[in-house]
């Protein structure tokens, strides 16, 4: 298996968006434009893992969280409630981590996550995951993420906010 960087590779970013749609069985028309838009954000880092046949089996990306960005502006008031808004002061926002269902549990997600976060120059990282996504919650906690807030509602579904100190 090999890892490729997404930054600056429009074709690979488009392929990553298609991989995301297939892995999650979603057909949102805005996925590819969102992936491309995010790739232009400051501090953007993105990686994909390809198998021996060059099929994508893993994807991870994020960027520096800044005021004015949609999710940053949702997270700040939620974290202020817990006195933890300082987590966003110099923060890498982990946006997506997806591993193909056929290879989950093989270490691909951990390897991609560690490689991505090692390259992030920020002091902290944050992410959100659905409150009922037990596998993801266990994965992040096993990888050293701490719960910053539960029962976060950016829409009608409950999420958890996790953070990790990088420096």
The total number of structural domains in the chain stands at 1
What would you report as the CA-atom Rg of the chain, rounded to the nearest whole angstrom? 15
pLDDT value at residue 15: 94
For 119-128, the pLDDT digits (tens) are 999 999 999 9
For 42-87, the pLDDT digits (tens) are 999 999 999 999 999 999 999 999 999 999 999 999 999 989 999 9
**Mean pLDDT throughout 129-135?**
95
For 8, the token pair is 């600056």
Question: Residue 27 pLDDT > 80, yes or no?
Answer: no
Percentage of the chain beyond pLDDT 70 is: 100
pLDDT value at residue 30: 79
- Name the band, by pLDDT with cuts 50, 70 and 90, for residue 90: very high
**Mean pLDDT throughout 88-99?**
97
pLDDT value at residue 37: 94
Note down the domain range covering 27.
2-165
Domain holding 25: CATH number?
3.40.630.30
């Amino acid at each position: 298996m090999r890892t490729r960087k997404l930054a600056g590779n429009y074709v690979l970013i488009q392929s990553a968006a298609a991989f995301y749609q297939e892995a999650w069985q979603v057909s949102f028309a805005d996925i590819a434009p969102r992936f491309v838009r995010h790739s232009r954000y400051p501090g953007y880092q993105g990686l994909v893992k390809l198998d021996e046949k060059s099929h994508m089996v893993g994807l991870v990306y994020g960027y520096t969280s800044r005021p004015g960005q949609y999710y940053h502006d949702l997270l700040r008031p939620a974290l202020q409630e817990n006195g933890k808004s300082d987590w966003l002061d110099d923060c890498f926002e982990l946006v997506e981590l997806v591993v193909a269902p056929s290879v989950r549990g093989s270490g691909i997600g951990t390897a991609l996550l560690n490689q991505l976060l090692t390259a992030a120059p920020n002091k902290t990282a944050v992410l959100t995951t659905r409150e009922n996504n037990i596998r993801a919650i266990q994965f992040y906690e096993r990888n050293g993420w701490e719960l910053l807030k539960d029962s976060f509602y950016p829409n009608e579904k409950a999420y958890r906010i996790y953070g990790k100190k990088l420096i």
